[in-house]
Structure 1
Amino acid sequence: MPEISSWQPTASLDNLRRRAALLADIRRFFSERQVLEMDVPILSRRATSDPHIDSITANCSGEVAYMATSPEFGLKRLVAAGIGDCYYLGKAFRNGEAGGRHNPEFSMLEWYRVGWDDHRLMIEVGELLSWVLKIPKVYSYSYRALFLQHIGVDPHRASFEELRAEVARVLELSFEPAGRDECLDLLMSHHIEPNMGDGITLVYDFPATQAALARVEEDELGVPVARRFEAYVKGMELANGYWELTDAPEQQRRFEADHRYREDNGKPVYPFEDRLVQALEAGLPDCAGVALGFDRLLMLACGAGRIDEVIAFPIERA
């Protein structure tokens, strides 16, 4: 195969045409449902506090600014201001993310539905994915049900020792997991996700310790769970949705907890989005929101194995 010059796109022209068509199709999907497309800043004086995501910094008129890791904060501020159902379809940026499914600059679809909870939004996510990917089968499982099916333990009640034993039983690792959540993440990503099958799988009621910006409520067994969900297709995570937290003091507490975690683990500490706390104080209506990786969705639609097959110029050629 002849060497491709570095000025050329890594994606085929056919895939780039499919990219354009999918962008148009998604915009039509939301237009028909009367969900407004919104533009929010991708350059901000605030950054993510998520301990597992790092922002890309920029020098802006002599001040430090941050490239948005998602449009979440801006969209929530608009919902609090009364804009109603809305979505963003555009660029987001994350530092240190590169590989077969990642690029530091990527495209994200994120939308919010006022008056909805996570279960109602799950249905719409399933409808969108089924329509785009032509996959009729959509399965929904609680996080507990998946672990009982694939591992045989209740993830909400199992001890660290029990989970660590299950990790040792089903995985070959060169290190010891540091805690319960690391055990759960390893079992999910390395054992459960690869065995989900070819349909669309929606997983809900995650452990309360993994709530991020979602509400925490008791499930039918009286166990506190995070009211959030994730969507998978062929073992690839595509979307992460929340029944959104509307409690301003709790939001402040979680931001501060994220900061302490970052400090304790030697990670960069950024100024968090205090304006989101102000928006919650003003009154964020009950709503559910979800972020979906557009490039990954396109990979599945095109049958591509790597993200550079569906974007013109990944970081190596940017």
Structure 2
Amino acid sequence: MERSEQELVRRANLEKIRELGIEPFPAATFAVTHLAKEINKTAEFAEDNLSTNLTEVTVAGRVMAQRIMGKAAFASIQDSSGRVQIYVSRDDIAPGEDKALYNTLFKKLLDLGDFIGVTGHVFKTRTGETSIHVKEFTFLGKSLRPLPTPKTDDEGKVHDAFNDPEQRHRMRYVDLTVNPQFKEIFRKRSRLITAMRSYLDGLELMEVETPILQTIHGGAAARPFKTFHNTLDMPMYLRIANELHLKRLIVAGFDGVYEFAKDFRNEGMDRTHNPEFTLLEFYVAYKDYEWMMDTCEALLEFSVKTVNGGETTTVKIGDNTIDFKGPYRRLTMADSIMEYTGEDINDADEDALRAICKRLHVHTDDSMGRGKLIDEIFGEHVEAKLIQPTFITDYPIEMSPLTKKHRSKEGLVERFELIINGKEIANSYSELNDPIDQRERFEEQAKLAARGDDESMPMDEDFLRALEYGMPPTAGIGIGIDRLVMLLTGQKSIQEVLFFPQMREENLEK
């Protein structure tokens, strides 16, 4: 590979560091006592501009700026919490006759992006900037590639910023180094999952793990990724959902289980879809979808408030302010279509639905059954208009092969989806526990597959066998973690809330 001039210089510096007897990639532990954020915060409360209550600190991080002034220098260190300035004097870090640690290493061989550790006391410069007066200096790691160095001119314009989306998503390690403000997205993601786990543990549900490699890709309507197991000599699939295995555990006698699962769907990629995504699913015995709506409201209200530091349940997304505080509006699917299109689908058969689709300019094809047609109408004319949290309830039976029939409404099932800011965030059922009915639903799915529906659900004989041993009334739900994080952080693209989203193959020659 042809290297740039700066890369060649850094490799030359690497060898010169070794010639000084210093290991540029040391293995020893370096004991950090404080983070940059802690030092800067403590210094804000100092009684005068020269001292704080921090007598000695040890920090480590990347060198992000450097200003040499002969026998002394200022530099900026960036750690996981932010940046702090350091002041380095030649005679402090190299008190003897040998001044190579400062004159050669610090002044000439230290590059931006290198990792160093320093120990010293905190003070404030004459301009009032918190700094560390360095007494000990340790080299901790060499950066062999130059980091992008955004610059702001006198007019406030930023030049050479690392802001190309493809580069940022592909090289997240560079993105989060030079654009550290994006780290807060992932901190909020972590806090969200921690809060949700805490709430579910409070309900005395048990966290479990289920297989990612499966012989049958059940639990959702989606195309799977297919692979092959050499030892077993059989095809296998990456799971598209963990629903059927979690319900097997309800059969086994667990009253409540949950899993933060990595699922995979071999479908299109866009601003709200990634082939690999994170889904929270939980199932609770002796409950129904009405109970689950109440629980979902309480879970999201608690989690969002926790992520926001316990202060508010609202988030700002573009021009919209979303409030996660319950109760949420509840609207049947038929009523939602009537409200936003004026069309009544309650008694419409497949032919009538195709006529409605034609009037509404909704695309259809021959593979679509009644449920798929209704889903297309809803997706085209209703979903995007639901901004505040809204439960869409009581779906047609054709759309929900794993859901219990509605107890009082013929042709419908006890299902809801939670729509927020025009996107589905959660999907929930009163779970179908009648094995005879379930087999008939799978058979209907097989007919759709024969018509060319490649998202239809396959027959799962082992799951049917489990149901035949008996499953209690159960409520289940799946919540899309990635989309929820998008809402809480105001992001319009799912790629912004994934550390490493799927990308096209990189052209390394280019």
TM-score normalised by length of structure 1: 0.89
Q: 2:211 aligns with which of 19, 36, 41?
A: 41
Are the counterparts in 2 of residues 218 and 224 from structure 1 also a CA contact under 8 Å? Answer: no
Q: Give per-residue Cα distances to partners, 1:33-79, cap 9 Å, x unaligned.
A: 111111111112222275x4111112223421111111111101110
With over 3 angstroms needed to count, the CA separation of the structure-2 counterparts of 1:251 and 1:223, relative to structure 1, is closer
Amino acid at match of 1:64: P
The question of 1:21 aligning with 2:191 is answered: yes
Amino acid at match of 1:191: H
Are the counterparts in 2 of residues 86 and 112 from structure 1 also a CA contact under 8 Å? Answer: yes
Deviates more, 1:264-273 or 1:92-101: 264-273
3-state SS of paired residue (1:217) = coil
Query: Percent same amino acid at aligned positions?
Result: 27
Amino acid at match of 2:429: Y
Find the counterpart in structure 1 of residue 443 from structure 2.
256
3-state SS of paired residue (1:283) = coil
With over 3 angstroms needed to count, the CA separation of the structure-2 counterparts of 1:159 and 1:256, relative to structure 1, is closer
Distance in 2 separating the partners of 1:28 and 1:112 = 16
Please state how far the C-alpha of 1:163 moved relative to its aligned partner: 3.9
Q: Larger C-alpha radius of gyration, 1 or 2?
A: 2
Distance in 2 separating the partners of 1:92 and 1:115 = 27
3-state SS of paired residue (2:272) = coil
Find the counterpart in structure 1 of residue 171 from structure 2.
7
Find the counterpart in structure 1 of residue 297 from structure 2.
126
3-state SS of paired residue (1:239) = strand
Alignment of 1:142-181 (within 5 A): 142-160=332-350, 162-171=352-361, 173=362, 180-181=370-371
Q: 1:74 aligns with which of 239, 245, 248?
A: 245
CA RMSD of aligned residues (A): 2.5
Distance in 2 separating the partners of 1:284 and 1:176 = 37
Please state how far the C-alpha of 1:255 moved relative to its aligned partner: 2.0
Tell me, which stretches of 5 or more residues in structure 2 are unaligned?
A: 1-160, 177-181, 305-312, 314-323, 506-510
Find the counterpart in structure 2 of residue 199 from structure 1.
388
With over 3 angstroms needed to count, the CA separation of the structure-2 counterparts of 1:266 and 1:184, relative to structure 1, is closer
Q: Give per-residue Cα distances to partners, 1:219-241, cap 9 Å, x unaligned.
A: 3xx53311111111111101111
Q: Give per-residue Cα distances to partners, 1:264-289, cap 9 Å, x unaligned.
A: 31749996432211110001111110
Amino acid at match of 1:289: G
Please state how far the C-alpha of 1:165 moved relative to its aligned partner: 4.6
With over 3 angstroms needed to count, the CA separation of the structure-2 counterparts of 1:225 and 1:58, relative to structure 1, is same
Q: 1:92 aligns with which of 263, 273, 277?
A: 263
With over 3 angstroms needed to count, the CA separation of the structure-2 counterparts of 1:86 and 1:305, relative to structure 1, is same
Please state how far the C-alpha of 1:250 moved relative to its aligned partner: 1.9
Are the counterparts in 2 of residues 93 and 104 from structure 1 also a CA contact under 8 Å? Answer: yes
Distance in 2 separating the partners of 1:97 and 1:180 = 23
Please state how far the C-alpha of 1:120 moved relative to its aligned partner: 1.1
Please state how far the C-alpha of 1:110 moved relative to its aligned partner: 0.3
Are the counterparts in 1 of residues 280 and 481 from structure 2 also a CA contact under 8 Å? Answer: yes
Are the counterparts in 2 of residues 142 and 205 from structure 1 also a CA contact under 8 Å? Answer: yes
Distance in 1 separating the partners of 2:172 and 2:294 = 40
Distance in 2 separating the partners of 1:179 and 1:279 = 29
TM-score normalised by length of structure 2: 0.57
Are the counterparts in 2 of residues 49 and 259 from structure 1 also a CA contact under 8 Å? Answer: no
Find the counterpart in structure 2 of residue 210 from structure 1.
399
Distance in 2 separating the partners of 1:270 and 1:174 = 22
Are the counterparts in 1 of residues 442 and 458 from structure 2 also a CA contact under 8 Å? Answer: no
3-state SS of paired residue (2:417) = strand
Q: 1:303 aligns with which of 490, 498, 502?
A: 490
Please state how far the C-alpha of 1:114 moved relative to its aligned partner: 0.8
Alignment of 1:259-270 (within 5 A): 259-265=446-452, 267=454
Are the counterparts in 2 of residues 129 and 200 from structure 1 also a CA contact under 8 Å? Answer: no
Find the counterpart in structure 2 of residue 55 from structure 1.
224
Q: 1:140 aligns with which of 302, 309, 330?
A: 330
Amino acid at match of 1:17: R
Distance in 2 separating the partners of 1:270 and 1:160 = 20
Which structure ranks higher in relative contact order (CA pairs < 8 Å, sequence separation ≥ 6)? 1
Tell me, which stretches of 5 or more residues in structure 1 are unaligned?
A: none
3-state SS of paired residue (2:188) = helix
With over 3 angstroms needed to count, the CA separation of the structure-2 counterparts of 1:144 and 1:271, relative to structure 1, is closer
Q: How many residues align?
A: 313
Amino acid at match of 1:262: A
Alignment of 1:221-236 (within 5 A): 222-236=409-423
Please state how far the C-alpha of 1:136 moved relative to its aligned partner: 2.0
Q: Give per-residue Cα distances to partners, 1:176-206, cap 9 Å, x unaligned.
A: 685543442222111111222x321001111
With over 3 angstroms needed to count, the CA separation of the structure-2 counterparts of 1:43 and 1:184, relative to structure 1, is same
With over 3 angstroms needed to count, the CA separation of the structure-2 counterparts of 1:180 and 1:275, relative to structure 1, is closer
With over 3 angstroms needed to count, the CA separation of the structure-2 counterparts of 1:284 and 1:49, relative to structure 1, is closer
Are the counterparts in 2 of residues 110 and 292 from structure 1 also a CA contact under 8 Å? Answer: yes
Are the counterparts in 1 of residues 219 and 243 from structure 2 also a CA contact under 8 Å? Answer: no
Deviates more, 1:60-69 or 1:70-79: 60-69
Are the counterparts in 1 of residues 219 and 242 from structure 2 also a CA contact under 8 Å? Answer: no
Distance in 1 separating the partners of 2:371 and 2:447 = 17
Hey, which of these two has a bigger chunk of helix by percent?
1
3-state SS of paired residue (1:184) = helix
Find the counterpart in structure 2 of residue 65 from structure 1.
236
